[in-house]
Amino acid sequence: MSIVKLIDLPSLEDNRGALVSIEAAKNIPFEVKRVYYIYGTKKGVSRGFHAHKNLQQLAVCVSGSCRMLLDNGKSREEIWLNTPEVGLIIGNSIWREMHDFSEDCVLLVLASEHYDESDYIRDYSVFIKQATQ
């Protein structure tokens, strides 16, 4: 079974441009409690390097591109996010890394929970130990 779970985010387009709507419990499987975005990431800088115990996320590259690496402790998969019309669902207990940000990358993240440091697993060896139990 694939770790990568992509969802289409329908775009409404006309002569003025395009609009993508993301609705909790409609096209994403959780209530949104936190929204943030990553931008201005310097060349050669990678981000993430953690998993969450409970939190789920939807990641959308609203501008530019980045490479996502996902790991469930048994397998690893990579996916390029490069369109605002596709979202990546990242479940709990998934290690995530973000690499190769384009200069114009804006990565929007919708989270199922408020920020809680105790929900993070920041040590890969701890993550692997928990994932393989």
Active site residue 50: yes
Strand pairing category for 57-63 and 106-111: antiparallel
The number of beta carbons lying within 10 Å of the beta carbon of residue 111 is: 20
CA dihedral 69, 71, 76, 79 (to 10 degrees): -30
- CB atoms < 10 A from the CB of 42, how many? 7
Q: 25 in helix, strand or coil?
A: coil
Q: Annotated catalytic residue: which of 50, 52, 99, 114?
A: 50
Active site residues: 50
